[in-house]
Amino acid sequence: DGGITQSPKYLFRKEGQNVTLSCEQNLNHDAMYWYRQDPGQGLRLIYYSQIVNDFQKGDIAEGYSVSREKKESFPLTVTSAQKNPTAFYLCASSMTRDNEQFFGPGTRLTVL
């Protein structure tokens, strides 16, 4: 079955630690995206990538980093520079920018 997987589902981190969230897709999509969602709010774009080895900052990129070394993978690192990282993180992919975005199940990150 084709789809997007994110791991882990729940993640707990101590303040000051970096943590990496995994996102893998087997849909052969060129474009991939990372969003952050806070309780009761909409999605905000962190980073996006339209092609391998290229990515662009979204609206809230500060404190986050990404890489796109393979078409199917787009990991997100939440660094210690991110002041308030507790949130629900969603990864998405699309064939092209004119197609729907398919979302993974999300990772819920809590900073202790």
Partner 1 sequence: QQPVQSPQAVILREGEDAVINCSSSKALYSVHWYRQKHGEAPVFLMILLKGGEQKGHEKISASFNEKKQQSSLYLTASQLSYSGTYFCGTDTDSWGKLQFGAGTQVVVTP
CA distances from 45 to 2, 36, 112 (A): 24, 7, 24
CB of 83 to partner 1, least distance (A): 21
Structure-token pair, residue 3: 């789809």
Q: Which of residues 15-34 bind partner 1 (CB under 8 A)?
A: 31, 33
Q: From the list 45, 52, 60, 61, which residue makes contact with partner 1 (rule: CB under 8 A)?
A: 45
Note whether 7 binds partner 1 by CB under 8 A.
Answer: no
Note whether 100 binds partner 1 by CB under 8 A.
Answer: yes
**Local structure of 28: helix, strand or coil:** coil
Q: Which of residues 53-82 bind partner 1 (CB under 8 A)?
A: 56, 58-59
Smaller CB separation from partner 1, 46 or 111: 46
Pair 81, 28: CB distance under 8 Å: no
Q: From the list 17, 41, 53, 110, which residue makes contact with partner 1 (rule: CB under 8 A)?
A: 41
Burial pattern 48-83, b for ≥16 Cβ within 10 A else e, equals bbeeeeebeebeebeebbbebeebbebbbebeeebe
Which residues make up the interface to partner 1 (CB under 8 A)?
A: 31, 33, 35, 41-45, 48, 50, 56, 58-59, 90, 94, 96-106
